[in-house]
Amino acid sequence: MLARTDTTVRDPRYLRRHALSVLEFYHQRSVDTTHGGFVPQISDRDGTVYDARAKLLPATARFVFNYSVGALLDGPHYCEEMAAHGIRHLERHHRDDRHGGYVWQLDGQDVADGGKRCYGHAFVLLAYATAARAGVPGARERIEPAYALLDEHFWEDEHGRCRVELDRDWSGTSDYRGQNANMHTCEALLAAYEATGTEEYLDRAARIAEGLARDLADEGDGLLWEHYTSEWDHDWAYNRDKPGDLFRPWGYQPGHLLEWSKLLLILARHRDAPWFADRAVRFFDAAVENGWDDDRGGFVYNFDRDGDPLVENKYYWPLCEGIGATALLADRFDDDRYRAWYDRIWNYALDHAVNDRYGNWYFQLTPDNEVATDAIDDTPEVKVGYHQLNAIYETLRADGFAE
């Protein structure tokens, strides 16, 4: 084990080891030999399975992503096999043979929620694209069909963005529109482009980014709001009374600003548009200025339109997105400011968010950096190590230590 210093978290050996330790934590507990696929409901505290049946589509897809990243990092021999195991579960059980697409939630192998959601289908595309890059058999030929589902059922060409949710038979769309599903669609399209070189995927990713991170941000406060009407007007009132909502909170989320900062810099690798990097800096600056707790460390969950914190609990995933964003910003601008933030975020995570006994990360901390025990062991679950492996993989790519 490397002694931890600021140089440790920049050491590719340490980063690879940390990523694979997170993967191993879930691998030892999550492989479902009864129903197939994986069990996402693993306790942050002690690694026990607390619900062996619930399976959300994005969780299954994220497991495929994780094992594929493990293979790309020359991880254990089981990585490719387990990625293929996840693909089989997606196609045999999440796949809707009657209506097409992928159902949102399973109970064992039974459909618990047959709704079709853009967020879940985006992660299916991300899973197949990443698995293809890792050489997992059967993944590459599934990229185009996964993209076609997003294009046919969710894409709103007149707006240049995706609608969020439909009924199982693809009818009955809601009036809600949100940036989160579109952000992950952009992410998946970038991965699909990098796996195949298909320009259509890059064009679509760039168009989503232009519509959200540039145009809608400029129409608002200069930052990226979460919620919109069916015509993509800002919905400033949506969930105003629910700032702590897990999926659709009111307010600006530092974690999503950081995530977009990272995605815009990945776009900038492939397209020469100065606004990508400029906007990445703007979003990063807002996230650390308004979202970082200067007294106790960590990112608050969200802040209001005046920049004041709303929910001051700290979640693990903004830390991961901050790590990925700062790594790419440092690579892009060769600026020690970003390296200092990279070190600061990592060291906070290692001091407070990482469960040293098991190697996983706690989902949520209190404002005073204690484990938020009332928020642990929710079901169904989507936190399966995706953010950690993603952040480390992108860091290693930026530094030239991963393909």
Interacting residues of 168 by C-beta distance below 8 A, sequence separation 6+: 96, 99, 103, 114, 115, 116
Query: DSSP letter at 163?
Result: -
Residue-by-residue DSSP string for 351-381:
IIIB-TTTS-B-SEE-TTS-B-GGGSS-SS-
CA dihedral angle for residue 358, residue 359, residue 360, residue 365, rounded to 10 degrees: 90
Q: Which of 89, 121, 352, 387 is catalytic?
A: 387
Identify whether 99 is a catalytic site residue.
no
Identify whether 121 is a catalytic site residue.
no
C-alpha to C-alpha distance for 307 and 305, rounded to whole angstroms: 5
Q: Which of 85, 94, 153, 256 is catalytic?
A: 256
Q: Are 345 and 357 in contact (CB under 8 A)?
A: no
Peptide bond connecting 380 to the previous residue in cis, omega within 30 degrees of 0: yes
4 strand-pairing partners: none
Residues belonging to the active site: 256, 387
